[in-house]
Structure formats: C-alpha cells, structure tokens
C-alpha cells in the first residue's frame, strides 16, 4: 500500500507535490520539525537563533513592497495567473524568512538573501531582534548596488 501511495504521489505535478510536502511539514509540531530538519546537514551551519525565540514582525520597506508588486504585475501581464504564482512563491519565501531568518546567508554586512522559487528574484532583508526588515525584492540580473545602499 505504501509503494502504491508513493507511486501515485510521484505521478502528481511537482507543484502539487510541493503543496503536499508543505502541508505535511506544517502539520508537525515545532519539536517534530526541529527533529526532522537538521540545518547542519544542508551545509548552512548551526542556527544563530536562540532556542525558544519569538517570531519577529515582518516589515516591508515601501521600495521593497513596490518592487514586489511591480514584479507580480509584470508576470501577470506576461501570462494570466503567473503573477499569482509569483506572489505565492514570494509569500512562501517570506514565511521561510519569518520561521528561520538566520538560516539564510549573509550577503552584505548584516543583510541576508532568500531566493524566490521558480522565479529569478531574491529578497534581501535584515534580521533584527524583534522584526525582519525587507529591504529589497530584486531580479537576479539587476546589479547588487541597487539594494546595497538601503538600510
């Protein structure tokens, strides 16, 4: 029965498999997630977050919010529904940042980068003790200086 179930799962489109995996992950308690997800095995190094820390508040700088909305609108103009897909993936990246901000690599001083799946965009942010400040949402082909001066 397990083999049949796995075979059927593998026949699903990748996006559906991702949705199922995310739903299963979300169904775990934080302790179960921690036991299943060893950051060291992914080569990211140990987490810098103190144990039992509180989820910080997400703050999008106006320029970053405008970049996010502009990208969504551009994708929607290219093909109906694609803007929504971009927004969904950006939301997933932001949720990941909120869950484990210090798991993302530093790229410039205290600024960290999270990549948006399926789209060539990166979210640049700073993790402060009580909030996550999103500085920029930039296409991967844009020059890094575009966001490096933002604080």
Domain boundaries of the chain, sorted by first residue: 1-37, 51-148
Dist CA 1 CA 7 (whole Å): 10
Dist CA 13 CA 9 (whole Å): 9
Confidence of residue 118 (pLDDT cuts 50, 70, 90): very high
pTM above 0.85, yes or no: no
Q: Which fold has domain 51-148?
A: YaeB-like fold (3.30.2310)
Dist CA 3 CA 147 (whole Å): 48
> What is the structure's pLDDT at 140?
87
Mean pLDDT on 77-102: 94
Q: Is the pLDDT of residue 78 over 70?
A: yes
Q: Is the pLDDT of residue 76 over 80?
A: yes
């Amino acid at each position: 029965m397990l083999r049949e179930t796995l075979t059927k799962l593998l026949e699903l489109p990748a996006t559906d498999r991702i949705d199922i995996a995310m739903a299963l992950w979300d169904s775990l308690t934080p302790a179960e997630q921690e036991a299943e997800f060893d950051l060291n095995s992914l080569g990211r190094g140990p987490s810098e977050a103190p144990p039992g820390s509180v989820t910080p508040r997400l703050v999008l700088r106006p320029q970053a919010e405008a970049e996010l909305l502009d990208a969504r609108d551009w994708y929607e103009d290219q093909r109906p529904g694609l803007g929504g897909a971009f927004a969904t993936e950006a939301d997933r990246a932001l949720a990941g940042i909120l869950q484990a901000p210090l798991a993302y690599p530093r790229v410039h001083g205290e600024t960290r980068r999270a990549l948006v799946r399926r789209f060539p965009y990166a979210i640049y942010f700073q993790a402060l003790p009580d909030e996550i400040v999103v500085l920029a949402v930039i296409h991967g082909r844009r020059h890094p200086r575009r966001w490096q001066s933002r604080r």
